[in-house]
């Protein structure tokens, strides 16, 4: 199995110099359709369009089963495209064999040969293509130095830690000097501390190589900390493509807003009403019934102007935990006060997460570490509505 992957993903014939040849990857209206158990069409990827610029680090992120790994396999040529077109460095590769696409892929399970040393694992793909021994030795030595693997070249995978095995897998791709690197959830098998370390090392590697990298993960923290840009996927559809800060501050729809951020954005369902000379958001239950202890908050400008067309319509208010604070006299008007009960207190060291309930909704607030709270305590909060988002309940698109 590993040999087949090596052969399929190896680079074209002939030795090259040590300068990596990078590429622009363009995906145009690409779909992948599988047949279900009853012959029905299952769309793993639906009309995906994406441009990965030369030397860019782009992250595909989304929940399990959203189609992100399928996109990576379509780029690599390990899956056949149902519709659309993929080009690498200006060359359409729909009908090009994986070995001739000049890319290298790093898999989740590392795919290392257990009976080979680190050196032999890294050199194997080059040996398949009949590179000279001196050229193989030079490339492996250079990659090992870049990845901090020089002391381990004579060891076998079983004698390495998870992070070291991951670096070997990266090194095996690196020695090929491809146009683009593809990473398929390479850190998911590591513990939390090692994931943080390998995130940093992978980002440093990208900076040193100035290489084109496409990285798949289900972890939005990985996506936010590593990507130059992020493509968020759900149910086979690319929802939004943006840099991390724009994605966080300006989500296009309800899914992106809820998926990006930790803790995630809080959502409240309700409607907009005019009263007391202003525009207010009033809470409702999911069935449209107003709870006995509903809350209402005044909508800040300029959102109020943009939301006039949605008065008396079902709407979703989204607000991030850091935009909710404990109320202090003079910090908010009476219309901005929100009363809630504490359900769980999570001290995080530099800050504290409060899990709260209020009316028909539960939500999370991120407060200062020195503040102390008790479970079931009733507290007063203020919402910074200037930083809130509003979504259409039907289309789930952000409207303000």
Q: Where are the domains of the chain?
A: 2-259, 266-392
Cα separation, 113 vs 116, whole angstroms: 6
Torsion of CA 93, 97, 103, 108, to 10 degrees: 120
Q: Which residues of 319-336 are buried (b: 16+ CB within 10 A; e: fewer)?
A: bbbebbbebeeeebeeeb
pLDDT of residue 149: 93
CATH number of 266-392: 2.40.50.140
Write the CA distances from 278 to 299, 305, 330, 335, 383, integer angstroms.
8, 10, 20, 11, 16
Taking the chain (400 residues) in runs of 10, the rounded mean pLDDT of each run is 44 39 89 92 96 97 96 96 96 94 88 94 92 95 90 95 88 90 89 85 87 95 96 98 97 97 94 89 68 77 89 94 83 64 95 91 93 93 92 95
Confirm whether 2-259 and 266-392 share one CATH topology: no
Task: Return the closest-CA partner of residue 105 out of 191, 170, 22, 177.
Answer: 170
SS3 assignment for the chain: CHHHHHHHHCCCCCCCCCCCCCCCEEEEEEEEEEECCCCCEEEEEEEEEEEECCCCEEEEECCCCCCHHHHHHHHHCCCCCCEEEEEECCEECCCCCHHHCCEEEECCCCCCCCCCCHHHHHHHHHHHCCCCHHHHHHHHHHHHHHHCCHHHCCCCHHHCCHHHHHHHHHHHHHCCCCCEEEEECCCCCCCHHHHHHHHHHHHHHHHHHCCEEEEEECCHHHHHHHCCEEEEEECCEEEEEECHHHHHHCCCEHHHHHHCCCCCCEEEEEEEEEECCEEEEEECCCCCCCCCCCCEEECCCCHHHHCHHHECCEEEEEECHHHEEECCCCCCCHHHEEEEEEEEEEECCCEEEEEEEECCEEEEEEEECCCCCCCCCEEEEEECHHHCEEEECCCCEECC
Predicted local distance difference test score (pLDDT) of residue 210: 86
* CATH-assigned architecture of domain 2-259: 3-Layer(aba) Sandwich (3.40)
The predicted model scores a pTM of: 0.87
Distance of CA 116 to the CA centre of its chain: 34
CA 35 to chain centre: 28
C-beta atoms surrounding 22 within 10 Å? 20
| pLDDT confidence of residue 162 | 84
Q: What is the pLDDT of residue 72?
A: 97
For residue 12, what pLDDT is reported? 34
Of 195, 209, 186, the closest CA to residue 105 belongs to 186
């Amino acid at each position: 199995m590993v040999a087949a992957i090596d052969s399929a993903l190896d680079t074209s014939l002939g030795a090259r110099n040590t300068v990596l040849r990078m590429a622009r990857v363009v995906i145009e209206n690409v779909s992948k359709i599988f047949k279900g158990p009853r012959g029905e069409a299952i769309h793993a990827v639906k009309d995906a369009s994406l441009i990965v610029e030369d030397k860019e680090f782009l992250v595909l992120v989304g929940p399990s089963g959203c189609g992100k790994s399928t996109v990576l396999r379509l780029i690599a040529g390990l899956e056949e495209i149902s519709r659309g077109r993929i080009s690498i460095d200006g060359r359409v590769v729909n009908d090009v064999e994986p070995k001739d696409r000049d890319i290298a892929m790093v898999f989740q399970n590392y795919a290392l040969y257990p009976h080979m040393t680190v050196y032999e694992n890294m050199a194997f793909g080059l040996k398949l293509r009949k590179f000279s021994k001196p050229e193989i030795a030079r490339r492996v030595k250079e990659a090992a130095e870049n990845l901090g693997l020089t002391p381990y070249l004579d060891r076998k995978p079983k004698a390495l830690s998870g992070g070291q095995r991951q670096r070997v897998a990266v090194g095996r791709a690196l020695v090929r000097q491809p146009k683009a690197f593809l990473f398929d959830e390479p850190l998911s098998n590591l513990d939390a501390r090692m994931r943080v370390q390998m995130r940093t090392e992978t980002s440093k590697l990208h900076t040193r190589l100035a290489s084109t990298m496409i990285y798949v993960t289900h972890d939005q923290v990985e996506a936010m900390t590593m990507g130059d840009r992020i493509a968020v996927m759900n149910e086979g559809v690319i929802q939004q493509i943006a840099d991390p800060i724009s994605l966080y501050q300006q989500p296009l729809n309800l899914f992106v807003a809820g998926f990006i951020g930790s803790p995630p954005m809080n959502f409240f369902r309700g409607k907009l009403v005019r009263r007391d000379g202003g525009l207010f958001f009033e809470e409702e239950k999911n069935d449209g019934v107003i709870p006995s202890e509903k809350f209402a908050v005044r909508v800040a400008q300029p959102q109020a102007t943009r939301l006039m067309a949605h008065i008396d319509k079902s709407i979703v208010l989204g607000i991030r935990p850091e935009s909710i604070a404990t109320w202090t006299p003079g910090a908010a008007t009476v219309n901005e006060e929100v009363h809630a009960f504490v359900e769980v207190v999570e001290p995080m060291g530099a800050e504290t997460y409060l899990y709260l309930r209020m009316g028909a909704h539960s939500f999370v607030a991120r407060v200062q570490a020195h503040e102390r709270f008790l479970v079931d305590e009733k507290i007063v909060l203020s919402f910074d509505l200037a930083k809130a988002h509003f979504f259409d309940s039907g289309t789930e698109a952000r409207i303000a």
